[in-house]
Amino acid sequence: MRRCCAAMLRGARWCGGLCSSLGLAGAGGSTLLRRPRALSAAFSSNGGGARSGGAPSAGASDVKPLDGVKILDLTRVLAGPFATMNLGDLGAEVIKVERPGAGDDTRAWGPPFAGTESVYFLSVNRNKKSIAINMKDSKGAKLIRELAAVSDVFVENYVPGKLAEIGLGYEDIQKIAPHIVYCSITGYGQTGPMVQRGGYDSIAAAVAGLMHITGHEDGEPVRAGVAMTDLATGLYTYGAIMAGLLQRYKTGKGLHIDCNLLSSQVACLTHVAANYLNCKIEGKRWGTAHGSIVPYQAFKTKDGYIVVGAGNDQQFVTVCKILNLPEVSKDSRYKTNTLRVENRKELIDILSTRFSEKATIEWLQLFEGSGVPYGPINNMQQVFSDPQVGSHQVFSVLHNGLVMKMDHPTAGRIAVPGFLMFSGTGDLIPILQNILEDSCLGGTAWDISWLHCNQNHKKLE
């Protein structure tokens, strides 16, 4: 059996194959591990007893793709928490390490709040268990290393070099956990003149060019409505960690993954970047339109907007038929997409005039079944009233089932957006449970409810 902070484990309880409480008091009474307010609720849809990195038992009916994978999550704000939340949705067991007293920065981001809980924080932190550790204290750093030794994945988003200063860099963790998939998320990467800058979405979006190409054609640069650079980085991180686990399965060795906001956003510039790299065509703002496809944009109706995209010539003919503009489809200026791009202004003026003559619902009915991509511009109320979006409890799914409803110990019944990627893999809907109940503390012990010591589920001593 692995010995893990043995002096601190006296009196710890063992339930369901888990070491479910750790008493951690530092010298002079300083607290190394404590709850950041009442907000440190456990976000978990995972049962106890999963083996460290092992496969669930054969024939299990509720097997999730990442059952048995343990993730030590030192990330804050959005990109990292979004990645680890999605991994948790697939069954990974995630322990979120936070600052004593304050926790993740987003716990204070509001209003709005659900009770005392930041809705922003709740939106990206399901499927996690939360502990607060003072990593600057040597005993706190030691505890992180002990947790890493029994984890499969270590995720952090500190400025490069900061964790190495306290013995928690990749080289440090690799020595005690050569199997570890260690993922660093930064603003600008591990080397270079910007390496010591902190990374926030809007700044990275500006530096990487996204803000330059976002907004009205003749207007100012605009920030996207949600933090797309952070979210894209989270998705790249999510995929890289999955690939890292597969690589470790093949080689038996861990590795270091480097994800950063700048690289993620530049990669997502796709054709805009390729236009510049190959043709020296500078990117520009197009509003809702597309630089290389016409028509592909929003049109104002009598009472709102509809977005229509004609990705090929046949679709353009269909659009003209629906709008009762057969002469436009026959006009030599608009016969091909290249010609439509060249004569954009004249064509869009004609189409805009016609779209303004009917209400949005009328146009939606006319486009239904046409084969042309189309849709309204919805507000949030309309989005979550759409039967294609739907909500779900367990697997009672209405179409896409994008709303997860769950119980939180202090906020009560809440709903957050989610994405079910698998069916038949068990319950992916997380229920928020408080694992730090006083009845579990045994008087003075704090509960981290997470440490597995080996594949036989033996108690840490």
Q: Active-site residue among 67, 89, 172, 230?
A: 230
Instruction: Give the rounded percent of residues in the chain with a pLDDT score beyond 90.
Output: 64
Per-chain mean pLDDT for the chain: 80
Structure tokens at 251: 């080689």
CA–CA separation, 58 vs 65, rounded Å?
13
Our answer to whether residue 172 is catalytic in this structure is: no
Lowest mean pLDDT among 103-112, 247-256, 346-355, 406-415: 406-415
- Asked if the model's pLDDT at residue 134 lies above 90, the reply is yes
> Tens of pLDDT along 301-315?
999 999 999 999 999
Read off the pLDDT of each residue in 398-427 and give the average, rounded to a whole number.
Answer: 73
Q: pLDDT at position 390, please?
A: 58
- Asked if the model's pLDDT at residue 401 lies above 80, the reply is no
- Asked if the model's pLDDT at residue 460 lies above 80, the reply is no
CA–CA separation, 117 vs 199, rounded Å?
25
Read off the pLDDT of each residue in 38-48 and give the average, rounded to a whole number.
Answer: 32
Short-list 78, 77, 4, 253, CA closest to 152: 253
> Tens of pLDDT along 3-35?
433 322 222 222 222 222 222 223 332 333 333
Go through 354-389 and write b for each residue having 16 or more CB atoms within 10 A of its CB, e for each that does not.
bbeebebeebeebbeeeebebebeeeeeeeeeeeeb
> Tens of pLDDT along 247-306?
999 999 999 999 999 999 999 999 999 999 999 999 999 999 999 999 999 999 999 999
- Asked if the model's pLDDT at residue 116 lies above 70, the reply is yes
- Asked if the model's pLDDT at residue 52 lies above 50, the reply is no
- Considering only residues 266 and 199, tell me which one the structure prediction assigns the higher pLDDT: 266
CA–CA separation, 34 vs 131, rounded Å?
7
- Asked if the model's pLDDT at residue 201 lies above 80, the reply is yes
Q: What is the dihedral of CA 46, 50, 52, 54, to 10 degrees?
A: -110
- Asked if the model's pLDDT at residue 122 lies above 70, the reply is yes
- Asked if the model's pLDDT at residue 400 lies above 60, the reply is yes
- Asked if the model's pLDDT at residue 403 lies above 70, the reply is yes
DSSP annotation string for 182-235: EEEEESS-SSSTTTTS---HHHHHHHTTTGGG-S-TTS-----SS-HHHHHHHH
